[in-house]
Amino acid sequence: MNRAPLLACLPAIALCARPSGPILETNYHNPPHQSQAADWGAGVCGGQRYFVNEYPPNEWMQVLHPTSEADDQPVVAAGVVLSPSLSQNDVPFTHPFGLDWQFSVALDPQYDFLLAPGNLGPDSEFVEATRHAAALGLPAKKGVLGVETDQDLIPAAYRAREGDRVILLGRWIADCGHADFHAEIHPPLLMVSARADGRTATVVSLIGRPWLVGQRFQADDAPIRRHLLNEVIKVETFRSTRVEAHPRILPPFSRPVSIEFTVRPPRRRFPKERLAISGHFTVRSGVHVAVSGGDGAVAVRIDLDPAAYKVAPLPRRKDWNLPIEFLGRQTDVIDKIQLVNLIGHPLAGLLLQRDWLTDRYDAPVAVSAHDSEAGPMPYSVDDGQPFPIYGWMRVVWERR
């Protein structure tokens, strides 16, 4: 018999009560979707990988609205974080805020419908993550969910850690860049992560994405394959001296979004302990936060109103010059758009060998003059910082 929980409560005339649920959870109602077909992930992508054919036009096709770039119908996922890391191999033209920060989630069972057949593998990352979840005793019979987002849009202090409870609200996609067509939240609009701080406290961090990187490009409003072909033709016909790809940057959200979640401290040791809340959130105009406590838990509600929201101006943009060797090695761009069949003039061939040009933005900073206003959960509006919302809270049992 494991006596550790009892000993942790001594000297106790106390309740030594465990929380009535996870330290972080939500009852968000996801939109309905028939994801029972054995090949539904491939179906979203038309059974074809992007870049090789005109369809699918995007690498990340929304499950509920396949051809849309925006979070038209965001979904929520909740579970436990596994193996966070930085990606080493992304298409640079759609990553002006850096290559992705990524992790897997062992989902709570009610969110298993988000998983495509490819979330079990054969991709080695998903096979290993599923084994990792099983070794930790986490439910992952249908695999794990992938999560990816531009690394600079999630400051390091707000990145979830291995073993954290996490709630994600964002774009549910099938990844058409992989032959297994697995499902992901890519990228999350809001990310809430929680971990225990000792035996009686839970610490939560929360961050909202300030912009959404589009999958179409400024010059012709075309998806990447068509756009790069257009750029190559412009060079061949001497209407341009190099290939350029400048992705559109979209607002973080385009429709009203509301989410509620519950935070609980891990354990109540004594009957007279009371629930104490501290922390602070900073928001932009159009974002509202409500916090209420009672019955051993704290409820948080966040409302995002696009009509009142002020999108932050983009940070400084720099040229990102991509050597042709880098493109061929990292993304197979050269093979996929078949440049060798398009080059018809020696000078055009030389121009196409120049560095290709795309954008790289400075990382936004989650800092405000209001950050020191920690207390019983106030929140402050500061349109001088770019994030829709960021901040933290701590929920703890305290002796009266």
Determine the Cα–Cα distance for residues 281 and 290; give it in Å rounded to an integer.
11
Q: Are residues 189 and 269 in the same domain?
A: yes
Whether residue 9 is predicted with pLDDT greater than 50 in this model: the reply is no
Is residue 385 in a domain?
yes
Determine the Cα–Cα distance for residues 166 and 24; give it in Å rounded to an integer.
7
pLDDT at site 7? 29
Q: Are residues 236 and 310 in the same domain?
A: no
Whether residue 14 is predicted with pLDDT greater than 50 in this model: the reply is no
pLDDT at site 328? 59
Which of 164-168, 319-323, 330-334 is most confident? 164-168
Is residue 219 in a domain?
no
Quote the DSSP letter at residue 339. Answer: G
Grade residue 376 by pLDDT with cuts at 50, 70 and 90. Answer: low
Whether residue 4 is predicted with pLDDT greater than 90 in this model: the reply is no
Mean pLDDT, rounded, for 79-98: 94
Q: What is the pTM of this model?
A: 0.90
Which of 12-16, 235-239, 249-253, 375-379 is most confident? 249-253
Is residue 126 in a domain?
yes
Whether residue 333 is predicted with pLDDT greater than 70 in this model: the reply is no
Is residue 216 in a domain?
no
pLDDT at site 351? 74
Is residue 305 in a domain?
yes
Residue identified by tokens 């209407």 is: 239
Range with the lowest mean pLDDT among 75-84, 218-227, 229-238, 293-302? 229-238
Burial 324-345 (b: 16+ CB within 10 A, else e): beebeeebebeebbebeeebee
Whether residue 1 is predicted with pLDDT greater than 50 in this model: the reply is no
pLDDT at site 307? 96
pLDDT at site 247? 97
The better pLDDT of the pair 18, 342 is held by 18
Mean pLDDT value across the chain: 87
The better pLDDT of the pair 35, 141 is held by 141
DSSP annotation string for 343-363: --SHHHHHHHTSPEEEEEEPP
pLDDT at site 11? 33
Whether residue 125 is predicted with pLDDT greater than 50 in this model: the reply is yes
DSSP annotation string for 51-64: TTBSSS-SSEEESS
Q: Are residues 234 and 114 in the same domain?
A: no
pLDDT at site 232? 84
Q: Are residues 239 and 150 in the same domain?
A: no
Q: Is the bond preceding 386 in cis, omega lying within 30 degrees of 0?
A: no
Q: Are residues 22 and 100 in the same domain?
A: yes
Number of H helices, E strands in the chain: 7, 19
Q: Are residues 296 and 321 in the same domain?
A: no
Count how many domains the chain has: 2
Nearest to 213 by CA among 69, 67, 45, 327: 69
Whether residue 345 is predicted with pLDDT greater than 70 in this model: the reply is no
The better pLDDT of the pair 58, 89 is held by 58
Residue identified by tokens 């049992």 is: 397
Mean pLDDT, rounded, for 222-234: 88
Range with the lowest mean pLDDT among 55-59, 145-149, 298-302, 335-339? 335-339
Q: Tell me: the pLDDT tens digits for 294-307?
A: 878 999 999 999 99
Q: Are residues 321 and 173 in the same domain?
A: no
Mean pLDDT, rounded, for 199-227: 95
Mean pLDDT, rounded, for 372-392: 87
pLDDT at site 377? 65
pLDDT at site 2? 33
Q: Are residues 261 and 332 in the same domain?
A: no
Q: Are residues 303 and 334 in the same domain?
A: no
Whether residue 332 is predicted with pLDDT greater than 60 in this model: the reply is no
Grade residue 348 by pLDDT with cuts at 50, 70 and 90. Answer: low
Whether residue 76 is predicted with pLDDT greater than 90 in this model: the reply is yes
On whether the CB atoms of residues 62 and 180 are closer than 8 A, the answer is no
Backbone phi and psi for residue 165, each to the nearest 5 degrees, phi listed first: -75, 140
Whether residue 378 is predicted with pLDDT greater than 90 in this model: the reply is no
Whether residue 13 is predicted with pLDDT greater than 80 in this model: the reply is no
Beta pairing, strands 244-245 & 356-361: parallel
Q: Are residues 22 and 94 in the same domain?
A: yes
Tell me which amino acid residue 140 is.
Answer: A
Q: Tell me: the pLDDT tens digits for 230-262?
A: 888 888 888 989 999 999 999 999 999 999 999
Q: Is the bond preceding 11 in cis, omega lying within 30 degrees of 0?
A: yes
3-state secondary structure of 256: coil
Mean pLDDT, rounded, for 81-109: 95
Is residue 53 in a domain?
yes
pLDDT at site 273? 87
On whether the CB atoms of residues 48 and 176 are closer than 8 A, the answer is yes
Determine the Cα–Cα distance for residues 257 and 91; give it in Å rounded to an integer.
30
The better pLDDT of the pair 334, 239 is held by 239
Q: Are residues 228 and 324 in the same domain?
A: yes
Q: Are residues 262 and 228 in the same domain?
A: no
Is residue 218 in a domain?
no
| Residue-range definition of the domain harbouring residue 265 | 4-211+251-314+362-398
